Amino acid sequence: MSAVTAPATASAGPRPLADVATMLRRSLLRAVRYPGLTVFLVAGPLVMLLLFVHVFGGAFGAGVAPGVTPGAEGRAAYLDYITPTLLVLTVVGGATSVATSAAMDAAGGIMARFRTMAIAPGSVLSGQVLGFTVQALAALVLLLGAAVATGYRPDAGVAGWFAVVGLLVLLSLALNWLCVAMGLHARSVETASNLPMILLLLPFLGSGFVPVDTMPGAVRWFAEHQPFTPVIETLRGLLTGTGTETAVVQAVAWCLVIGVAGYLWARSLFRRERRL
């Protein structure tokens, strides 16, 4: 009962790294073919930048920094305050897109095709996660450019910038894994981004737009204990050169927890049998 031999052209044995690289290339090629998505990632935070800084900022700035007078000084202070938040929102936006993309793969036949091929199973989702992290980085550069163009002048040094990029990449990977799982969990492409939308709200219920000590009791408790607050505080600290160590540890810990949980959830959903 010996086998029909495998074709001589295909090299034997699994090659997970090659497969992940191939899937990453596919994800990036899709991004190039459909640049609207990357632009869309920047559009939301960009509108917020203009609205919150250049319309509301004159008043808001006086509320977030002691001793700042409303008007131009307020706008400058608020630009400093929310640019880190907008960077985080850009990353969250990227993660929302991963959910849609994963749901599209699952709804079309291509994910089933990949699952019938002798490839590293993890490469299918890893390619999406990494691809959208690269897209998020591109969107982050565009957004920072816009912030600088409107007067943003961060004080971070070289080490500080490395830390900023490192934390944003870590956050992106973690949220992308979580959102890939959410996308696979959804019953359709249309509903794939519903769960990730909740993530877009979290920076508002944290220290993203106003200091948490101005919030009422229960909201304040939630704001102090949710993952986005330490992430935003860490970025704010790094970009102004005044970080607190507790926030850094909490931020990294949250990212690791979210990333590992998202990865395990995504893996179990990917392995789940789908009715044909």
Partner 1 sequence: MTAATGPAIEIAGLCKTYRSRSGDRPVLDGLDLTVPAGTVTALLGPNGAGKTTTVGVLSTLLAPDAGTVRVAGHDVTTDAGAVRAAIGVTGQITAVDELLTGTENLRLMAALHHLGRAEGRRRTAELLDRLALAEAADTPVATWSGGMKRKLDLAMTLVGTPSVVFLDEPTTGLDPRSRRALWDEVRRLVADGTTILLTTQYLEEADRLADDVAVLHEGRIVARGAPDELKAVHDAGTLDDVFLALTAPPADQEDPR
Binding residues for partner 1, per CB under 8 A? 1-11, 14-15, 18-19, 22, 25-26, 29-30, 33-34, 108-110, 112-119, 273-276
CB-wise, 134 or 169, nearer to partner 1?
A: 134
Least distance in angstroms from the C-beta of 104 to partner 1: 9
H-run or E-run covering 201: helix 194-201
Least distance in angstroms from the C-beta of 34 to partner 1: 6
Least distance in angstroms from the C-beta of 204 to partner 1: 33
CB-wise, 33 or 242, nearer to partner 1?
A: 33
* Angle of CA points 37, 38, 39, to nearest 5°: 90
Q: Which residues, 6+ apart, have CB-to-CB distance to 111 below 8 Å?
A: 105, 124
CB-wise, 108 or 145, nearer to partner 1?
A: 108
SS (H, E, C) 120-137: CCHHHHHHHHHHHHHHHH
CB-wise, 119 or 235, nearer to partner 1?
A: 119
Question: How far, in Å, CA of 53 to CA of 77, rounded?
Answer: 9
Least distance in angstroms from the C-beta of 134 to partner 1: 16
**Side chain identity at residue 61, one-letter code:** G
Q: Which residues, 6+ apart, have CB-to-CB distance to 84 below 8 Å?
A: 232, 235, 236, 239
CB-wise, 158 or 276, nearer to partner 1?
A: 276
Question: How far, in Å, CA of 27 to CA of 258, rounded?
Answer: 22
Question: How far, in Å, CA of 193 to CA of 101, rounded?
Answer: 10
Between the alpha carbon of residue 71 and those of residues 75, 192, 211, the distances in Å are 6, 42, 19
262, 179 Cβ separation under 8 angstroms: yes
CB-wise, 34 or 204, nearer to partner 1?
A: 34
* Angle of CA points 122, 119, 185, to nearest 5°: 40
Least distance in angstroms from the C-beta of 14 to partner 1: 8
3-state secondary structure of 155: coil
CB-wise, 41 or 255, nearer to partner 1?
A: 41
Task: Report which DSSP code applies to 7.
Answer: P
Least distance in angstroms from the C-beta of 119 to partner 1: 5
